[in-house]
Chain A
Amino acid sequence: MSKTDLTRRGVMKTGAVAGAGLAVPTIFTARSASAFVNEPTGGSVTLGFNVPQTGPYADEGADELRAYELAVEHLNGGGDGGMLSTFSSKTLDGTGILGKKVEYVTGDTQTKSDAARASAKSMIEKDGAIMITGGSSSGVAVAVQALCQEAGIIFMAGLTHSNDTTGKDRKANGFRHFFNSYMSGAALAPVLANAYGTDRKAYHLTADYNWGYTTEEAITSATEAMGWETVETVKTPLAATDFSAYITPVLQSDADVLVLNHYGGNMVNSLTNAVQFGLRDRIVNGKQFEIVVPLYSRLMARGAGENVKGIFGSTNWHWSLQDEGSKAFTRSFGTKYGFPPSQAAHTCYVQTLLYADAVQRAGSFNPCAVVEALEGFEFDGLGNGPTLYRAEDHQCFKDVLVVRGKENPTSEFDLLEIVEITPVAQVTYPHDHPQFAGGALGSCNPGV
């Protein structure tokens, strides 16, 4: 078993203290002694991977953690280098970041804002993490992003799909590579119109919290622009486990499409229930009844089993993509762990690389330098084609995938097939688009 010789902030501090002279018994160090918070002074730099390890998203968190470990390995020159070789920016050479060995600490967000912030704070205050990344829900991402802004740490969001993360809750120190509700709508609507026609009547079931609201808004406005009619939108409690009471009224409406703005366990259960109630066998207004799941996750598709077959949805990335970056990442992840990576793993891996590259290009770990390096950064070779990190809202703009549940999966990881790669131009929106209004980045905060 390979030993990652992890040392924490401790050794760095020890070095610093020793350098200052052990003869002096006590040294008071005010925070302002360094240029920015947690400035790495030793031979290593610590990143904080804050993912759900308990609770319903624990498996997703585990996959994110695998990707982070892989990224650290590649940054430190281990393994096959993964996407380092396909990444258009060539500053990363396997010698860590700015010559410092990359180390990491992990924490458990529990998919709760409070716990996630506690965990992030512990990484910042105790372990001296210079960057926090991870998460598997928008609520957590927004909460941790705000914390990092206050603490003067860079936050590279993991899986967060709500418009708000780079909309009304955007922050100067926070960056999102993952796509968002608006992009899902923009990518899905034309495909849906193409497959199901433009005179459809849609019934929405929406998880009763922020992500649900933004997704519902994005999908309704995108599909209505195609000529669809929104018959009804119904909010379902997050805690609901059985959606039959929400599914049956669909039978009595004249809707011929059901849109499930649900994620995770909610999506598994609502989709399962909808299929149980025979919605997919219905013919309404002479048309076959259809179900749409705006945001797909492979792990959740697995939970829904047979029921996902033929159902459209969108996803940030899929391992079956054939570009060089995706192939390199899938090979390297698959060789190490024995199964293909999820989209959550992909976005987390890419975020780590993007951060490392930005530091390298800026020549400094200073958050403000990193922000500057990432803003307006254009790159390619990380799996979604040419991508822009937009300066105005710190959102990545890249191709979005429309996928469909596969009819004949060859394994439990091969559940989705790519229907269309929606080009980036089609999902780009102005940064002051109404669905993203109300936020302000503020200025970068180095923490001192």
Chain B
Amino acid sequence: MNDRPDFSKHANHAATAPAYFSVWDLHAYYGESYIVQGVSFTVHEGEILALLGRNGAGKTSTLRSIARLASPQVTHGEIWLDHQHLHTMASHEAAIAGCALVPEDRRIIPGLTVEENLKLAQIVEPVGWSLDRLYELFPRLGERRAQEGTTLSGGEQQMLAIARALARDIKVLLLDEPYEGLAPVIVREIEKTLMLIKEQGITTIIVEQNAVAALKISDRAVILEGGQVVFDGSAKEVLDNAALRAEYLAI
């Protein structure tokens, strides 16, 4: 095992500002299965972090743990967002604290129109962008505001899911597989949106199978393997290091 390079040095931490968001020694279980096995990383304000790894590496579970969903069950660890400890909160409290998860399958709520899906996000304070502003950003949602959300195309649903997150006043956006199953044109459109969000100063953690696409817009990258962090460094480092990509990302 000695021939394997050690990528998990937290080399670049000291050089930058104190962390805005941090996860420390997180452990979580799905029933009997031990999925997240001591994950730690930090993100700075306004940064985009790519959380990468193969299938089953624990990426989605980490995101769900951060959003404080009921499963997986977190047994140990701390999650801090802007001096607030998310790890003691229920998922709705975490949401109020500024954490927004856009789940893998978008989870547009069936039976509700596009507008109702957005309105639902603005029931509890603090609210973020107004509906008008969201429709301006996503004109297609505006056109279909009275349509049932689940009847939209995949790309539109992804936009609705992101818009729904922005409808709240958020500090960190957790995106799970935002590009999955989408045409390249739409992927580019979403990328543009994400850059716009970054300009607003919102911190983003993105989990994506398409690592190259994710790294393109990311500042930093964390790679998980078997529920543990095996790399933590800049996005560029991953893009440049073919051995690393081959080892953990199979690209």
Direct interface between A and B, CB < 8 A:
no
Listed in ascending order, the chain B residues whose CB lies under 8 Å from chain A are: none
